[in-house]
Amino acid sequence: MWASIALRLFWRELKRGELWVIAFALFLAVFSVVTLTGITESVRSALSQRSASFIAADLILRSSRPFQQEILDAASEQEVAQAQQMLFDSMLFSTEGMQLVTVKAVTASYPLRGDLVLRQSPRIAEGERGALQTGSLWVEPRLLSLLEVAIGDYVELGASNLMVAGIIETEPDAPLNVFGGNPRVIMYLDDVAATEVVQPGSRIDYRYLFAGAESQLASLQQQLDASLSVHENWQRLDRETAVGAAMERAESFLLLAGLLGIVLAASASAVAANRYRQRHAESVAVIKALGATTTVARKIYCSHLLLVTLFSSVLAMLVGLVLVVFLQQGITLWLNDFEPVFSSRPLFMGVMTSVICAGLFAARPVWQLAAVPAISVLRQLPGWRFDVWHLVTGAIAVWLLMWLFSRQFVLSLLLFAACAIFALLLMGMAALLVKIAKPMAAGQSSALKLALANLRRRLWQNSFQLLTFSMALFLTLLLYFLRAELLEQWQSQIPEGAPNQFLVNISPEELPAIKAFADQHNLELDTFYPMVRGRLTYINDEQLRQRASKEEDDQRVGVGRELNLTWTEQLPKNNRVTAGRWFDENGGQEVSVESELAERLGLQLQDELVFSIGGQVASATVTSIREVDWNSLQPNFFMILSPDVLSDFPASYLSAFYLEGEQGDILNQLNRDFPTIIVLNVDAIIQQVKEIIAQVTVALSGILLLVFAAAVLVLVAQVQATMEQREQELAILRTLGARYVFLRNAMLFEFAALGTLAGVLATVLAEAVLGLLQYRLFEMPFQLNWTLWWIGPGAGLIVVTLLGWWQLRQLLATESAVLMRRAIYS
């Protein structure tokens, strides 16, 4: 019996549009969670697939021991794709010359991720693509001129003669080594044994490359962890590289945006659930008066809500999943090598959201609804009351959703606590502001007086309304500005025309010729940085033995124990002195140290450093510690010395320039004209970072749109909640002779005041949180966002007033007789 009544009520009310606020709020909550999870998963998967291509695999195990059969077997057992690599330095001989090279010997399945492009021609982008084969090797283009060999010639590697099959055009896991290194050679792993270069004690880097599903890799890692020796260690994408950092920020941002979106969507459900209770209270009283027990009323309305939840959730999940699939297809079009991963997580999250929303947001209002006394049919229903328990269950629901979404207990708890504190603060501020509105009304026009009186009269309700308005505006503002900030920071990190080609190993004699070459091809050369390689041997008379320099651990700046030392009078761009002072004109024998290295070595200002440079000794005093932006993809140095220390040492120079994609022949020309200069192309990496930024931008815009929609819904639900009361008041004022213009103005003033207040509160909070997040989460310097101060209150004023007007305009236009009749009947 109750089931059919519930079903009929649901169907009729749905058709008549009476359930749209609660249905849409639930829809939005489930839809946002499904799409946010889907978007985050897709972008994360795209990013991790992208990052995998930087190491040519999903996971790498590095070892100094020869390949172990049990490790290979374990991988086969887990059915993950695998490849092996050996990396070692060796001399390569041609009939005309010899050169120390870094050899990478690989199995046929290499690379597991990314693309290896080999060309059967001496120049990039020309000739047929080639593949690895026994008895041949592929070389970096500059090696052809260094060894004076042509394609098809034979070179000697250890005991083997191998044919130069062509050049390496793109190598997915090539190290970004701005300071040069040996020219690189790729060969087939099975040919290594015949070369006899691998002897006991040889320094060989053995790498096991794996690729597969995350779960397979995780269980492989778990299985192998137990048997690994000190010689083995796992490698993933280095988070300190520009690409790694960009991805990490993108992931942090997506997570944060998703969480904020969920808070808003959840608030909308909470407000809508309250509204649902208000709207159905009278019907419950009637049903109970007509003979339904509280249990029957509860059954009817619980089923009714269940039907609304089911309807909204199923619809939201369907629409959400379609959007996610659409988005994944979009990414596939964009990134050819992207393999969409369809996980059940968005669906699971959708189901959980609807359960949590219905169970925690709506359960209490519906429970209370059934307790409405039957006598309410004869007496006026009790008015709006602040319900602490609804707030508590709602808060638990928000946190549960945050936890489920982020899967990070501490983060969800922290963010939730922050939101709760803000909510309390806002509530207090809102109550205070509404209260002091009374003296403000003195001497104002009567419409304004009425507006302020309205605000004051519904103090708690308005404080709560102000709280939700502020929260909605705050979260939207926060996301909007973070997104803009993040993009701006990223763009400035890699500005258009930033140098993408580095010239290393330029001898002083070559400087004029290089400058002439640049002029001839209209290339804008960056500063020439002199470079001297030296080893730090003493700190304050203490000889260094085992103390490692940062360079040894960090591939970004090169290999070997020697540091690249430079000298300059000017503090380079992207550098900031954090302690001490930059070089003094009157000073001398000074050194400026990069902050992380200084911390690692325990260096203090005024420490005396001694460097050994080609057998000679140079010393300098630490006069400044510098912070360096390693993400800038610009030449950066750990140690910068004052010119007087190093200018007498023989140096090579480093410079950089920007080259457009289609000017590839200039590089070939440069290689031919200056065979000893190393040209490093970082364009590929810059492009990768830009692609990541572009992907994340699209995802963020989508999320922002969702968050804004949730914010608007919260506002709408709030205004809807006061509709009956407003209608009654309007009926009375109309009957007493209030004119349309007067009432309209009063209403506009009321919403404008609420909107502006909410905007100001949201701005203050957004500014504080932005500062904190920029500093903590994204490691960006704090900046005051002046634009926020007019956009925040302005948006509050306009959005809230317009929404209020849009919802109440029909009510205002209703004839007073109709209003009066409705007021009497209700």
Partner 1 sequence: MQLTEGSLTILTDLNLTIKRGESVAIVGASGSGKSTLLGILAGLDTATEGEVFLAGHALHQLTEDQRAELRASHVGFVFQSFLLLPGLTALENITLPAELAGIRDARKRGLELLDQVGLAERRDFYPTQLSGGEQQRVAIARAFITQPQILFADEPSANLDEQTGQKVEDLLFNLNEQQGTTLVLVTHKTELAERCQQQYLMHHGQLESMAQEQRHVG
Residue ranges that bind partner 1, judged by CB under 8 A: 1, 4-5, 8-9, 12-13, 16, 18, 282-283, 285-296, 373-375, 377-379, 821, 824-826
Cβ nearer to partner 1, comparing 230 with 824: 824
Are 316 and 28 in contact by the 8 Å Cβ rule? The answer is yes
Q: Which residue has the tokens 């009374």?
A: 438
Separation between Cα atoms, residue 336 and residue 339, nearest integer Å:
8
In the complex, least distance from residue 1 CB atom to partner 1, rounded to whole angstroms: 5
**Number of CB atoms found within 10 A of residue 62's CB:** 15
In the complex, least distance from residue 740 CB atom to partner 1, rounded to whole angstroms: 24
Q: Which residue has the tokens 């070692």?
A: 88
In the complex, least distance from residue 374 CB atom to partner 1, rounded to whole angstroms: 5
In the complex, least distance from residue 299 CB atom to partner 1, rounded to whole angstroms: 11
In the complex, least distance from residue 267 CB atom to partner 1, rounded to whole angstroms: 26
Cβ nearer to partner 1, comparing 386 with 740: 386
Cβ nearer to partner 1, comparing 298 with 626: 298
Cβ nearer to partner 1, comparing 159 with 817: 817
Are 681 and 500 in contact by the 8 Å Cβ rule? The answer is yes
* For helices 388-406 and 20-54, angle between their N-to-C axes, nearest 10 degrees: 20
Separation between Cα atoms, residue 135 and residue 130, nearest integer Å:
14
In the complex, least distance from residue 16 CB atom to partner 1, rounded to whole angstroms: 7
Cβ nearer to partner 1, comparing 378 with 410: 378
In the complex, least distance from residue 727 CB atom to partner 1, rounded to whole angstroms: 14
- The token pair at 310 is 């089911």
Cβ nearer to partner 1, comparing 550 with 822: 822
Cβ nearer to partner 1, comparing 293 with 687: 293
Separation between Cα atoms, residue 278 and residue 271, nearest integer Å:
11
Separation between Cα atoms, residue 135 and residue 713, nearest integer Å:
68
Query: Which three-class secondary structure state does DSSP give residue 164?
Result: strand
Separation between Cα atoms, residue 360 and residue 316, nearest integer Å:
19
In the complex, least distance from residue 286 CB atom to partner 1, rounded to whole angstroms: 5
**Number of CB atoms found within 10 A of residue 528's CB:** 17
If you write DSSP's letter for every residue of 751-813 in order, what string do you get? Answer: HHHHHHHHHHHHHHHHHHHHHHHHHHTS-------TTHHHHHHHHHHHHHHHHHHHHHHHHHH
In the complex, least distance from residue 14 CB atom to partner 1, rounded to whole angstroms: 9
Amino acid at 532: V
Buried b (16+ CB within 10 A) or exposed e, 515-527: eebbeeeebebbe
- Ramachandran area for residue 212 (φ above 0: left; ψ -120 to 50: alpha; else beta): left
Are 561 and 628 in contact by the 8 Å Cβ rule? The answer is no
In the complex, least distance from residue 811 CB atom to partner 1, rounded to whole angstroms: 15
Cβ nearer to partner 1, comparing 81 with 296: 296
Q: 566 - beta bridge partners?
A: 640
Cβ nearer to partner 1, comparing 69 with 380: 380
User: CA-CA distances (angstroms) from residue 323 to 31, 679, 778?
Assistant: 10, 45, 29
Report the run of H or E that residue 616 belongs to, with start and end: strand 616-628
Cβ nearer to partner 1, comparing 286 with 431: 286
